[in-house]
Amino acid sequence: MRHDTRHDTTSKEFDRQRTRTRRRRRRSDAVCGATSGRTQDATITSQQPRTICVSRFCTTTVRAQAKKAEPQTQQEIIAHFNDLREDVRLIGGKIGDLSDETEEYKRVSETLRKVDPKRKAYRLIGEVLVERSVQEILPAVTKNYEQMNAMLQQLKQLQQNKMDELAAFQKKHKITMKS
């Protein structure tokens, strides 16, 4: 029997690995000059008469390098701009996933409140199905709902901060979007 190692990593580690893989592919596409068929380009208009266009999916610098110092070259500026856009997009995806899960917890909590507290209820913890009474499970479900709702609000605030940072960066470096 073959052991599948994909399930040994946590969800966060899996997301990081997937993000790294996507970035490596984009870097190799940028080096090769390949385009992904997307139509939206980022353009920087500087004081010089020339304009540089780069596909919005090409990333040439590592995020850590972009945070150490202010980007100097136009390629670094575009890469940093694309990284910021990617962050906003990823946070938006996490918000969508978490809001769906939060709504599910809310529905379960509302349903359990209407049921007799002594009634049997089943809860899936990890991969184990646990039998308890409603009065034992309801506090845990309610607590999880509240924690998820708080996390959702934090993610929305983080997304707004990133969007503000992106807008300021775009204005500072005079970046315009082409369709």
84-115: per-residue pLDDT in tens? 999 999 999 999 999 999 999 999 999 999 99
Average pLDDT of every residue of the chain: 75
Tokens 């009474």 belong to: 133
How far is 141 from 135, CA to CA, in rounded Å?
11
What's residue 72's pLDDT?
A: 81
What's residue 177's pLDDT?
A: 85
Given a cut of 80, whether residue 2 has pLDDT beyond it is no
Report domain 9-178's class: mainly alpha
What's residue 97's pLDDT?
A: 96
How is the chain split into domains, by residue range?
Answer: 9-178
**pTM as predicted:** 0.59
How far is 34 from 41, CA to CA, in rounded Å?
14
Give the start-end residues of each E strand in 126-174: 128-133
Asked if 57 contacts 85 with a C-beta cutoff of 8 angstroms, the reply is no
CA distances from 85 to 80, 92, 122, 149, 176 (A): 9, 11, 42, 25, 13
Q: 155: helix, coil or strand?
A: helix
Tell me the mean pLDDT in the region 14-40.
50
